[in-house]
Structure 1
């Protein structure tokens, strides 16, 4: 399965050639809420070594609760979030909303992560919940 997508202005494109995503889910962490400008972020987790990008990608370095770096990828032209990349993990979380339309229509989220940050007015259970990251 090849996952393809782009930012709003289409300057940044990406591709992940995987058998299937490792995880498709809703991320309720505060950083994802801020990066997405919404109550959660739809994430599609894939191995880092399977992702290629083209275009004016910018990376902002933040710090996870673990103390490790997390790089937030976004288009330097339009600001669209593309992914978040935890330095200490072999996977990257692509932002599901940036996938090509026909691909994202087929996504089936199965988990919710960082439900400890889930906003009180969004308490409907969307998928299998994990208070933080699953082990």
Structure 2
């Protein structure tokens, strides 16, 4: 399976050549809520070494609860969030909304991460919840 996508203005494109995502789910952490401007962020986690990007990406460095750095990737032209990249992990979380339409329509989220930050009015529960990030 090849996951392809782009930002709103199409200046940034990406491709992840994977058999399947390592995780597809809702990320309820406060940073993802703020980055998405919504109650959670739909994430599709893939190995970093399987991802290629083209275009003007800007990276903002934040700090995770662990103290490690997390880089939030945005299109420098339109501001669309593309991914979040935990420096200490070999994986990257692509923002599901940026995937090409046929791919994102076929996603089947099964996991919720950072349910510690889940807003109380979010009622849906997926089969594999994690209070924080799974190991």
Same fold judged by TM-score > 0.5?
yes
Q: 1:40 maps to which residue?
A: 40
* 1:76 and 2:53 matched: no
Q: For residues 81 and 127 of structure 1, what CA distance do their matches in structure 2 show?
A: 26
Runs of 4+ residues deviating >2 angstroms: none
The alpha carbon displacement at 1:31 in A equals: 0.3
How far apart are residue 121 of structure 1 and its match? Answer: 1.1
Partner of 2:15: 15
Q: Report the equivalent of 2:6.
A: 6
What is the DSSP-based 3-state SS (H/G/I as helix, E as strand, rest coil) of the residue aligned with 1:103?
helix
RMSD (Å) for aligned C-alpha atoms? 0.7
Rounded Cα–Cα distance in structure 1 between residues aligned with 2:130 and 2:122: 15
Looking at structure 2, the residues matched to 9 and 126 of structure 1 have their Cα atoms a distance apart, in angstroms, of 32
Work out the CA distance in 2 between the residues paired with 1:95 and 1:107.
12
Q: Distance in 2 between matches of 1:48 and 1:129?
A: 23
Which residue of the partner structure matches residue 65 of structure 1?
65
Distance 1:88 1:125 in 2: 28
Instruction: Give the direction of change, closer, same or farther, for the CA distance of 1:78–1:127 in structure 2 (3 Å limit).
Output: farther
Structure 1, unaligned runs of 5 or more: none
CA distance in 1, matches of 2:119, 2:47: 29
CA shift for structure 1 position 6 = 0.2
Matched, 1:116 2:91: no
Asked if 2 retains the 8 angstrom alpha-carbon contact of 1:109 and 1:127, the reply is no
Q: CA offset at residue 90 of structure 1?
A: 0.2
Give the TM-score normalised by structure 2: 0.98
**Shift of residue 126 of structure 1?**
3.5
The TM-score, its normalising length taken from structure 1, stands at 0.98
